Every structure is written in C-alpha cells, then in structure tokens.
Amino acid sequence: MLMSELLMKHDAPMDAYRQLFDGILSQRLAPGTKLNEVELTVLFGVSRTLIRQALQRLQLEQVVEIHKNRGAFVAAPSPDLAQQILLARHTIELAVVNLACERCTVGDVEQLQHMIDLEQSAIDQGDMATALRRSGEFHLQLAIVAGNQPFVHALRGLISQTSLIITMYSHGGGNACARDEHSLLLAAVSAGDQQQAQQQMAHHLGHIAAGCDFTQSPQMANLKGAFAHLS
C-alpha cells in the first residue's frame, strides 16, 4: 500500500469520534448540549452505528453522558466532581513528571517545546479555545514521555474533562500565564530535577483550580451551529 493511500484512507469511526471530540474540546459544543444521533449522521455522513460507537467511546472517556432512552449530552461536571477531577490530575501528573524527569530525551524536549510554541501562537492570535486544547496536548505528551500507558489513558479523559471545567467555571485570564508555567515545567523536566518539576506542576495545577469559582452555571450551544463549517 502506498503512503499516500495510507494518508488518504480515512478511518470512519475514528473520524466521527475525533470530530465530536474536537467539537467539544474546542468549545463549539458547550457542556450540557444534546447530541442528537440523526443530526450527527447527516453532519458526518455516516450511519447511526458509527455515531453511537463514537458517543459510547466519549462516554467512557467521561466527555459525554448517555442517559438510557434519553440520549447523549456533552458532559457538565458538577463543582464537586470538578474538584475530584482536579485532585486526580494532581496525583497522577505529579507521578508523571517524576517519571518524565527520568526518561525525557532531547527529542522529547524539542517536541514539548514545539507544543508550547504552538499553544503560545494560539494565545497570540486570541484563539483561547485552541490554546486550551494545545495546553491539554502538552500535558498528555508529558505522560507519553513518562512511558506509563495507564497514566496516559487516565489523563486523556481527565484533561478533556478539565477543558470542560474551564469552559464552565473559569473566569478568564486564569490560564494566560500557562506559557511561562509550561516552560518552567519543561525546563525542570529537561534538567531531570524531580523536586523542581513536581513543584512546578503542583503550582500550575493549583493555578487552574484557583481560576475557577464553581458557583455559576454553564450555557448551552446547538449542534448545527457548532459544525456549520461542514455543510
């Protein structure tokens, strides 16, 4: 099989999943939004079978809630759950940076630095949704570098949920300092300084939590608007 064919070949179920995932993470689909199956079939051009597959997967990643006979909705973590999520991230990511300090190669550092730059360029363009998504990708890459598959798996869901939390509860600007924090974190990891890296990570995650107030409720969005670019 040619490389071009490999690149062209689109994996239908993954595509539907990715589109939905991106739609949610980029904040085009607000927490609580109902995800109607037939609407999604026409938007993505696949049958309900694949839509339901994607929705189930998103549910198991805790990004979507499915209520029996009622349908799927973009998850809207309660304040209590939100704090549980941030605590879980704290625990896992501290362990992750510890491992990353031991295993990070120069190639890894380059890639992580590149991701920081991409995040910053999104911030410079005022595209905070993209910046938020890229920030999550940086954290996930750190877990990949750490070389622990279960941590990667758990963090994938937790990071996505954190994006939802920030969408719902953060009163802006709270994560504008993210760039510096990511850079400081990477510097510590790159130097293999576990003590410093853990401190940076704890500080960074603390900032995210501090930027939320957990008293206001979220606004919804509608499906067609979120995927208007497709039709």
Contact positions toward a copy of itself, by CB under 8 A?
Answer: 53, 56-57, 60-62, 81, 84-85, 87-88, 91-92, 95, 147-151, 153-154, 157-158, 161
- Cβ proximity to a copy of itself, 79 vs 147, nearer residue: 147
Binding residues vs DNA (CB under 7 A): 11-13, 34-38, 46-50, 52, 66, 68-72
- Cβ proximity to DNA, 23 vs 136, nearer residue: 23
Report the alpha-carbon distance of residue 103 to residue 209 in Å, rounded: 28
Short-list 147, 75, 69, 64, CA closest to 104: 147
Q: Taking the complex as a whole, how short is the minimal distance between the CB of residue 225 and a copy of itself, in angstroms?
A: 30
CA–CA–CA angle 197, 100, 143 (5° rounding)? 105
Short-list 198, 204, 93, CA closest to 152: 93
Q: Taking the complex as a whole, how short is the minimal distance between the CB of residue 172 and a copy of itself, in angstroms?
A: 25
Q: What is the largest CA-CA distance in the chain?
A: 55
Tokens of 81: 């759950």
- Cβ proximity to DNA, 12 vs 88, nearer residue: 12
Q: Taking the complex as a whole, how short is the minimal distance between the CB of residue 24 and a copy of itself, in angstroms?
A: 17
Report the alpha-carbon distance of residue 201 to residue 96 in Å, rounded: 10
Per partner kind, with CB cut-offs from 5 to 8 A, the member of a copy of itself, DNA, none near residue 157 is a copy of itself
